[in-house]
Structures are given as structure tokens and as C-alpha cells.
Chain A
């Protein structure tokens, strides 16, 4: 019902982790080129087992708790580096930024929110799109970025994903979108809502072209993003312990006035209810994606690098 309700929770979540994020952001700004290294002494607490983890180790472990396997939120560029072969990623539309179509103002101006989100995250908006090779297979990849206004989808996210899919149709490439988002962006109101239809319409074209779309759902994927492209994968994969929902738990609790059972709307719950094909750990994501696409597209396993797209 209230797509963006989840955002509130997510924003709160963000605040809780502010210290951690701040240190990350500082680093991000400091080192765009070199691979980031976390200053010594910065630590994280695992949300699941409450173990104190050294940030450096946690980062080396791709933000997965070494003790219990809990998957933390993962930076968009780290994700691209994890999935795409070295130096093969070409980013699209990296200069695209949000306009303010309805001159939205609450306690803050939308424009100012965008400005501070840009400064905080070092990103232009909530998705990075482009093409690259995954184990030698050329494909279109979109990775959402939760650190930018809760990964919310406005015109920029909708347009960038649409172009990504359109271009993939043209180039006959499969598409992978990694979602992590609170939903549609309130501040663009109907312009945001219609992006759900826009991206879904383009996915219909991708289907007609018989090109695979693999949706990877990461923590959290809710609201207008789950109720559009994120749930439309030929194959839906999700990371462990991700919150995946239409309405966030808080909205549901408010509606039914009942505490929700543990594990409700987590990846494992979704698999049990038939909404996703498989739960894939971050560690195995690249390999699983590669296997999946190679079987789907009837390609050879043998030499990863020499594989050509079947339709080319």
C-alpha cells in the first residue's frame, strides 16, 4: 500500500550504521582509483551474531560475517568488481542526475536532499549501469546503490535501467540487475511510480527478444522495486538473509497490529513461498550467474574467456 514506508525503516537503519558508513564514505572520497583499505581500528558489529568484526577483514570477506555468514549491505562498485571480469566494465550514463520534476519540498528541498546524498555517497544516483564480461560472457549489468537515498527509484534509476535493457536488446546481451532499494522515490511522486511500468515494459521487450534477465535481490528489496523489475527475472536469485517484500514489516505490523514471525520476508521465507529460484551466497554469486547463463544460452563451459554470445 505504502511503497515508501519501508524507506523510513531503511533510513533509520542507515542512521544506525552511520558511523560505519561515514568511515566508508570518507574512504570512498579519498580513494577513487586505488582499492579501498579501511583505517585500522574501525570495527563493525554483526547484526546477526553481534560479534565484533574488524572492518578490514569484513571487507576482505566481501562484507560477509566470517562467524555466522550474515551478509551485510554491499557497495555497488564492490559488487561490480566482484561480478565483472577485471577491466571489462564500461559504465553507461554516468553523468545522469535527478531533476526535480514536481519541485518537491518537505522539511527539506528535494534538490538539497539530492545534493547531500551525492556528497555523502559520492554517487550521482541510486544505480550504476553498464556492460562488461562475466566469466567471459558479455552482458548488461545494473547494480543499485542503497547508500543513495535508500536506493530509491526515481526518473534516473528508471531511465538508466531502461536504456541498459534497450541496449542489451540491441546488442543481444543477457541482463542482470542487482536490486537493493526501499522502493519508488517519494519526491518524484508519479514520475517515480511510472518508472515501475517503464522498466517492466522494457523487460517485456527483452522477453520477446528471448534474452535472459536474471534478477539478483540483495538486502533490502522492497516496495516499487520488488513490485516491478526485481520480481520479473527469468531466474530470481537472492542473497541470504535479505529483506525482500512488497510492504515493509513495519507497515504490515501497523496494519494488522500483530508482531510478525521471525524470518518473515527474509530470503529463506521467500524461497519457501516460491518467489525465488535460489539463495546464492555472495562468494558464489559470480560462478552461479556464469553457470546459469551458460546453460540457459547453450554455451560451452570449457574456456570461459573465449565464449561468444550464442546469439551473436
Chain B
């Protein structure tokens, strides 16, 4: 069962037309299918040419979008999933393990969302607890030990705000990851594949290369949260989304990220194979580049990149406030 967003309605209609016609053996119907397919392509192009910020936010959260595990399965060979933080539990909101990509061994970690109620119960809608971040930390250290480049796939509404999470030190778990990733002695490539929800995303998002898929978001707070604080009205979320500059294209302009990976027409969910190929190619070529750097240079570059984020004024005479 496919899901369609409000603005994907025309696409949904054409899909159902196509499936109706396809079920018939009539020659005319086959022709109609062809026509509908052309129409579908045109409609998609039309819709995706003029997407609003809010529509892009919805695409980033599209229930049919490929999730971390989908990508891991399609871009790596021989993925061996590893479980548990060795301290408390195995948090399924973060998936991780060792794998091969293009013949090369890597460590790969990502936030994992679920497709249905049962899956979401297990992986908590992709909102990790501290044990999830500590599992990630354990795998990062293992990556360093065995000199495996680290790939992270970011897709979370945020770290879970709950009693257990607070009791077990959500803040400390995130903080520790930031510190360790900043200085981890292997190349790190981070890719936002859906939602980049604040500190819960950043906790596996510090690296040498930060890329975002075209229709993904990354923000300090959810548009809904921001709207309910600043506008005192959660329904102002679309407006907040614009103000927050949370789209891949915005963040590229602000030099927060290095690369926007183009999605196929209709978004990643419309052609998961194609977007997986794009990601795979990107990882392979980035790894080749990063592995040429010697370690000191790599770490200095990583630090300097973080060092440069932010804008402020220093000279009193320049101050406009």
C-alpha cells in the first residue's frame, strides 16, 4: 500500500488509473497505460518543479521514503548487524554494523524508522534512547580500532524525550558522541537521508563530509516545536520551516553541509534503487578522496570545518545592534 501526500494527489490518481488499465487485456487499455505514464511523468515534473518548503519537509518525512536499513541492504555487501551498547540494552532506533562497499570494509550506522506499528514500537519511530547513542559510540570506537571508515545515515525526528532517557543520561550520551566523533581516527561520511532532528541527529553527524539528500531537512528544532514557541501556535509550522532554513539547498548555501545529493524525479521513494546508487557512488568517491589524506591532515581539516561554523561580529564599529 503506497502512501501519498496531499500534493502528490494527482500522482496517486494517475497511479490508480494505470493499475486499473493494466488489469485489462484490452488493446486500447494498453495504449491508455502508455498515455497515463507519460502524463504521470509530466505531472511529477510539474509538481516537483514548484515544491514549497513545507512540501519538502513533508517529503523528508514521507512514510514511503527508504530508511537506513533499506539503503544499507542495497548499497553494501555482506552487512553484519551488531547489537547492543554493552551497558543496558539494544536500541533498535539505531542500526549499525560492519559491511563491505565496493570491496572495502566499513562501519555503517544509521537511525532506523519503522514502516508499521510493530516496527515503530520496536524502533521508537527512529527516536533513540541513550543506549542507542552508546551503541553507536561502541561501534565508532570499533571502527577506529580496526581502521574502518565510518558511514552514518541520519534520519530521526530527534532523541527521545522520556523519563528513562533522562534517567540514563540522554544529554551525556549525545555529548560524548560529539566529542569522540570530532577526533575519531578514521574518515567519517555523514548523510542525511530524511529528517535531521537536532542533537539527536548531530550525535551521529560529526564528520569529514556532511551531505544531504535533496529533499531532506536538518534543523536545531522541529518546525512544529519552533512554531509553538515563537508563534505560540504549532499550526504555524510551515512558516517556521521557512524561517529555520532547514532544507538541504539552504544549508549548502550557508556552508553547513558539503553536498546535496540529487534525488530522482518524484523523490527518493519514487525510485529507491536510483537514489541508493547515487548514495553508493558518492560514498565510494568520497572515501577515495578522504583516504588519500594522512590522518593528522584529516583530523585538522575536520576540526577546522567545525571551527568555522557560525557568524558573529567583533568590531564595535561594525556592530549594527
For A264, what are the chain B residues with a Cβ–Cβ distance below 8 Å? 163, 166
Do A229 and B175 touch across chains, with their CB atoms under 8 A apart? yes
Do A227 and B221 touch across chains, with their CB atoms under 8 A apart? no
Do B163 and A194 touch across chains, with their CB atoms under 8 A apart? no
Partner of A197, one of B182, B251, B320: B182
For residue A114, CB closer than 8 A to chain B, the reply is yes
For B182, what are the chain A residues with a Cβ–Cβ distance below 8 Å? 197, 200-201, 204
For A273, what are the chain B residues with a Cβ–Cβ distance below 8 Å? 167-169
Contact size range, B = 35 or more
Do B166 and A252 touch across chains, with their CB atoms under 8 A apart? yes
Do A98 and B313 touch across chains, with their CB atoms under 8 A apart? yes
Contact with A along B181-225 (1 / 0, CB 8 A): 111000000000000011110110110000000000011111001
**Closest residue to A1 on the B side, CB-wise?**
B158
For A229, what are the chain B residues with a Cβ–Cβ distance below 8 Å? 175
Do B163 and A95 touch across chains, with their CB atoms under 8 A apart? no
Q: How far apart are the CA atoms of A2 and B230 in the complex, in Å?
A: 13
Scan residues 210-246 of chain B and give those whose CB is less than 8 A from a CB of chain A: 218-222, 225-226, 228-231, 240, 243-246
Partner of B183, one of A4, A208, A275: A208
Partner of A4, one of B159, B168, B229: B229
Tell me the minimal C-beta distance from A259 to chain B in angstroms: 11
For B240, what are the chain A residues with a Cβ–Cβ distance below 8 Å? 106
Do B165 and A2 touch across chains, with their CB atoms under 8 A apart? no
CB within 8 Å of B: which residues of A? 1-5, 7-8, 93, 95-102, 104-107, 111, 114-115, 118, 154-156, 158-159, 162, 184-186, 188-198, 200-201, 203-205, 207-208, 223-224, 226-232, 244-247, 251-252, 255-256, 260, 264-265, 273-275
Do A97 and B319 touch across chains, with their CB atoms under 8 A apart? yes
Do B199 and A98 touch across chains, with their CB atoms under 8 A apart? no
For B178, what are the chain A residues with a Cβ–Cβ distance below 8 Å? 196-197, 200-201, 228
Do A193 and B319 touch across chains, with their CB atoms under 8 A apart? no
For residue B179, CB closer than 8 A to chain A, the reply is yes
Do A1 and B159 touch across chains, with their CB atoms under 8 A apart? yes
Q: Which of A184, A191, A192 neighbours the largest number of chain B CB atoms within 10 Å of its CB?
A: A191
Contact with A along B137-180 (1 / 0, CB 8 A): 00000000000000000000111111101111111101110111
Partner of A246, one of B170, B316, B320: B170
For B310, what are the chain A residues with a Cβ–Cβ distance below 8 Å? 101, 154-156, 158-159, 188, 191, 194-195, 198
Do A224 and B199 touch across chains, with their CB atoms under 8 A apart? yes
Contact with A along B292-310 (1 / 0, CB 8 A): 0000000000110011011
Do B169 and A231 touch across chains, with their CB atoms under 8 A apart? yes
Do B163 and A2 touch across chains, with their CB atoms under 8 A apart? no
Do B175 and A227 touch across chains, with their CB atoms under 8 A apart? yes
Q: How far apart are the CA atoms of A97 and B320 in the complex, in Å?
A: 9
For B218, what are the chain A residues with a Cβ–Cβ distance below 8 Å? 190
Do A246 and B229 touch across chains, with their CB atoms under 8 A apart? no
Do A200 and B161 touch across chains, with their CB atoms under 8 A apart? no
Tell me the minimal C-beta distance from B277 to chain A in angstroms: 28
Do A191 and B309 touch across chains, with their CB atoms under 8 A apart? yes
Tell me the minimal C-beta distance from B286 to chain A in angstroms: 19
For B202, what are the chain A residues with a Cβ–Cβ distance below 8 Å? 193-194, 196-197
Q: How far apart are the CA atoms of A227 and B172 in the complex, in Å?
A: 6
For A107, what are the chain B residues with a Cβ–Cβ distance below 8 Å? 230-231
Partner of A162, one of B165, B243, B307: B307
Partner of B161, one of A196, A208, A252: A252
Q: How far apart are the CA atoms of A156 and B231 in the complex, in Å?
A: 25
Do B229 and A189 touch across chains, with their CB atoms under 8 A apart? no
Tell me the minimal C-beta distance from B201 to chain A in angstroms: 8
For residue B6, CB closer than 8 A to chain A, the reply is no
For B243, what are the chain A residues with a Cβ–Cβ distance below 8 Å? 102, 104-106
Do A256 and B199 touch across chains, with their CB atoms under 8 A apart? no
Tell me the minimal C-beta distance from B222 to chain A in angstroms: 6
Q: Which of A107, A198, A260 neighbours the largest number of chain B CB atoms within 10 Å of its CB?
A: A198
Do B166 and A224 touch across chains, with their CB atoms under 8 A apart? no
- 5 smallest beta-carbon distances between A and B, as pairs: A1-B158, A155-B310, A247-B161, A201-B182, A2-B225
